[in-house]
Amino acid sequence: MTNSTPQTEKALKRRKILIWILIAVVILGILVTAGYFVKKLIESNYYYCTRSAKFIPLAKSCDGNIDCFYGEDEVYCSTEFKANDTFPVRLISAERVLQVFNGKTWVTVCNDDWSTQHTETACKQLGYTKSRGKIIPTCPSFKLFSVTFAYTVLGLSPFLFSTNSSVCRTGSVVSLTCSDCGVGGNLERIVGGVDAHIEEYPWQVSLQNGGHRCGGSLVSSRWIVTAAHCFSGNKELSRWTVMSGETYLTTLGGSSVDKIIIHDQYDEASSDYDLAMMRLSSPISVGDKRKPVCLPPKDLLLPDKAPVVVSGWGLLRENGKISTTLQKANIEMIDRNTCSSIYATMLSQRMVCAGNLKGGVDSCQGDSGGPLVYLSASQWYLVGVVSWGDGCARENRPGVYSNVDNMLNWIYAAIEVLHANKGTSIFTGFNYISFFFYFFRKTHDVPP
């Protein structure tokens, strides 16, 4: 019988050490995994008050009542937003003609002395960073007014103001495109839908709170339009993330959110004014998989039975499972008289209908807040937001969508005000008018 050599003993020691290291790694992995699931379980039921080191039921956070010291449970929550004044700039008709509000009525902007700076200023007021303008011949129905500049405090942030002049030497009006928006894939023929690629509808996002909850639409590199009902009982900002640029549903990664604003007139019982907006903590990088959809110009007239597309990761059938692959479905707009005959007084002016009256094609629960888009002149416009319906894809039960055109003023006002709150002084509504006259008197020595 031979004795173990020193080399053999060293090998045995190394093996024992490796085994203990392996055991430690496995135990550590088990503890980390268990800790993760325990943390998720606690977070799904409780809110932790960091300053008072206590847990409160999740339902008590963001409920309007202070339950933690210093009210930390009510700080980072969704808020309502009220648009007090008429937003002073808008684009109208399919030609995207620029109009400004003079305090009493909307007036169309004449091309006289129009400059690139005017274009950039108007687009900034509409919440966009990119701008492109063109001149089109006037229509006899337009009453033309020229514009000039006024400036906010310290000479920052120029804004447009209409002068009371009907003289328009050029006889032309200004048409604006304020963003490289609405560029998606081809229109091809959810419940009754087919698989889609995110490059076709790059504005589509997934709003997640422990998993996919709703759809949404990028309208800029930082702003998302969705439905107000998505946040019923889920108002804490830190629990929401936004997944963008993905065809296949995933909960990994995502962008954090620093604002959720709900339309101040939203009524949960009737689903009226079912509109909300989310602001990402930082802008996304725009590319082939992430592009904003265009907000429609005011009074964009859709033809009868206009073809539209709804997309999302909703249920593949009523009471079925959520799709893991982005879905799209071709449907058509349904005129108000037909839809009113089905839903009667449940249908308000803030709602539009779309679908197939024969059934079989529709949006469904998981698509809530997602986009209903219309293709015009090679650009996609957000005309509706998935809101409610009677079941999914039932005969004579079309889907009901929040009417974006009807609430454009609220969308633009929300973007403007929250942008101003970040440090840029911007005036809206009648404040534009009063400040203009103040500025005019100061710079032209006109007595008050």
CA distances (Å), origin 2, targets 5, 10, 11: 9, 17, 17
Q: Are 396 and 332 in contact (CB under 8 A)?
A: no
CA distances (Å), origin 245, targets 127, 190, 285, 342, 394: 22, 18, 10, 37, 31
Provide CB contacts within 8 A for 345, sequence distance 6+. Answer: none
Q: Which amino acid is at 372?
A: L
Q: Which residues does the annotation mark as catalytic?
A: 229, 274, 368
Give me the long-range contacts of 45-51 (CB less than 8 A, separation at least 24): 47/73, 47/236, 49/73
The partner residues of 382 in beta bridges, in order of sequence, read 373
Measuring CA to CA, which residue among 178, 120, 108, 107 is closest to residue 149? 120
Distance CA 48, CA 78 (A): 18
Q: Which two tokens stand for residue 128?
A: 């966009």
Please give the distance of CA 119 from its chain centroid, rounded to a whole number. Answer: 24
Provide CB contacts within 8 A for 24, sequence distance 6+. Answer: none
Report the C-alpha dihedral over residues 309, 90, 348, 382, rounded to 10 degrees: 10
Measuring CA to CA, which residue among 180, 179, 178, 182 is closest to residue 123? 178
Distance CA 382, CA 373 (A): 5
Cα–Cα–Cα angle for 48, 51, 56, nearest 5°? 30
The partner residues of 57 in beta bridges, in order of sequence, read 46
Q: 222 burial class (0-12, 13-18, 19+ CB within 10 angstroms)?
A: buried
Provide CB contacts within 8 A for 86, sequence distance 6+. Answer: 101, 409, 429
Q: Which amino acid is at 226?
A: T
